[in-house]
Amino acid sequence: MSIFVNKNSRLLVQGITGHEGSFHARQCINYGTNVVAGVTPGKGGQFMDDVPVFNTVQDGVAETGADCSLIFVPPVFAADAILEAADSGIGVIVAITEGIPIMDMLKVRNSLAGKKCRLIGPNCPGIITPGQFKAGIMPGQIHKPGSIGVISRSGTLTFEVVNQLSLRNIGQSTCLGIGGDPVVGTDFIDCLAAFEEDSETKGIVMVGEIGGSAEEEAAAFVRDSMTKPVVGFVAGLTAPPGRRMGHAGAIVSGGSGTAESKIEVMKECGLHVCEDLGRLGEFCEEVF
């Protein structure tokens, strides 16, 4: 089992003929992902290797039954691409694109509210259910099938964590990056709730970073609604104040954006907090 995606998922890649889109689509195929369609407006009827390319997501879904989409289109067109996927009946939308204007994301988030689809990202490495399905840019070979869920706001930091787990024979049920932007489609709590429901997942590693209050809210959720053990890590203890958090934004979170305060709240809520990234694998071995 897994969360959000599995071996039966059918992937459509938006921006499949671009430089990044084609490279990563091939990587996903090599990993064993069922890539059924690609979309590039104006290139409908062509093929990327053996994958049929369509002009619109709607056409791609109608012809191939795709239910998951992976987005590589540039920031200028990304909001449009996400909304197109949502309106075409795609269930899980994974947006890799970095640099989407926040005003666009505010509109996307509010447009998706109440719709039956899940947006993961943007500005994220994607999602992988090891051994079954990969929709993202993570190096597949470092993952190992197993029973630990991994959630993170970062890309390469997630790879670091997963690598340490795999080296210690701790396999993963599903690993996903929720994205480093201020406004993202799926938050920690959505993932924690899904992992709690997933019978194959025995524990979760949650990797946070400074800014906002998503970690604090997730920690409260763990305290109130979860039975499975959760390991927490927060990056950015040495980050200078004010450089990433906006002046007035700091008030909204009431001083809760720092790594210290996040770690403190996690501990209070009963998470197993690891403060040394170099020992995270070892730490997880003890907890799980």
Partner 1 sequence: MKIHEYQAKKLFGKYRIPVPRGSVAAYSDEAVRIAQELSGFPVVVKAQIHAGGRGRGGGIRLAASSDEVRFVADEMIGMNLITRQTGSAGRLVRKVLVEEGLTIVREFYLSILVDRASAGIMVMASSAGGVNIEETAARTPENIIKVFINPLGGLQPYHCRQAGFGLGLDGSALKQFMTLLASLYRLFVDYDCSLVEINPLVMTADGRLMAVDAKVDVDGNALFRQKEIGTFFDENEVDPLEVEAEKYQLKYINLGGTIGNLVNGAGLAMATMDIIKTSGALPANFLDVGGGASAEMVEHGLRIILSDTHVKGILINIFGGILRCDVLAEGVVRAAGKTGINVPVVIRMEGTNVKQGRRILTESGLNFMTATDLRDAAEKVALIAGN
Q: For residues 224 and 276, which CB has a smaller minimum distance to partner 1 in the complex?
A: 276
Quick note: the x/- pattern for partner 1 over 173-192, rule CB under 8 A, is: -------x-xx---------
The letter for the amino acid at 220 is A
Compute the least distance from the CB of residue 54 to partner 1, in Å: 26
201: its two tokens: 């997942």
Query: Judged by CB under 8 A, does residue 10 bind partner 1?
Result: no
Query: Judged by CB under 8 A, does residue 193 bind partner 1?
Result: no
103: its two tokens: 């005003």
Query: Which secondary-structure segment (H or E) carries 235?
Result: strand 230-235
- Exposed / middle / buried, residue 254 (Cβ in 10 Å: 0-12, 13-18, 19+): exposed
**Rounded Cα distance, 78 and 86, in Å:** 12
Q: For residues 45 and 242, which CB has a smaller minimum distance to partner 1 in the complex?
A: 242
Q: For residues 228 and 244, which CB has a smaller minimum distance to partner 1 in the complex?
A: 244
Q: For residues 42 and 114, which CB has a smaller minimum distance to partner 1 in the complex?
A: 114
Q: For residues 36 and 70, which CB has a smaller minimum distance to partner 1 in the complex?
A: 70
HSE (CB half, 13 Å, CA atoms) of 88? 27
What is the torsional sign of CA 285, 28, 13, 75? Answer: positive
What is the torsional sign of CA 258, 108, 56, 18? Answer: negative
- Asked if residues 118 and 92 have their Cβ atoms less than 8 Å apart, the reply is yes
**Rounded Cα distance, 287 and 223, in Å:** 17
**Rounded Cα distance, 183 and 108, in Å:** 10
Binders in 198-227 for partner 1, by CB under 8 A: 207, 209-210, 212-213
Query: Judged by CB under 8 A, does residue 1 bind partner 1?
Result: no
Query: Judged by CB under 8 A, does residue 250 bind partner 1?
Result: yes
Quick note: the x/- pattern for partner 1 over 107-146, rule CB under 8 A, is: x-xxx-------------x-----------xxx--x----
DSSP helix, strand, coil percent of the chain (3-state; round to 5): 35, 20, 40
Q: For residues 65 and 249, which CB has a smaller minimum distance to partner 1 in the complex?
A: 249
Compute the least distance from the CB of residue 248 to partner 1, in Å: 5
Query: Judged by CB under 8 A, does residue 100 bind partner 1?
Result: yes
- Asked if residues 188 and 214 have their Cβ atoms less than 8 Å apart, the reply is yes
What is the torsional sign of CA 138, 141, 145, 149? Answer: negative
Quick note: the x/- pattern for partner 1 over 58-87, rule CB under 8 A, is: -----------------xx-----------
Query: Judged by CB under 8 A, does residue 278 bind partner 1?
Result: yes
Catalytic residues: 247
- Applying CB under 8 A, the span of 29-37, 46-54, 64-72, 97-105 interacting with partner 1 comes to 97-105
- Asked if residues 86 and 152 have their Cβ atoms less than 8 Å apart, the reply is no
Residues at the interface with partner 1 (CB under 8 A): 20, 75-76, 99-103, 105-107, 109-111, 125, 137-139, 142, 152-160, 163, 180, 182-183, 207, 209-210, 212-213, 235-240, 242-243, 246-254, 259, 276-279
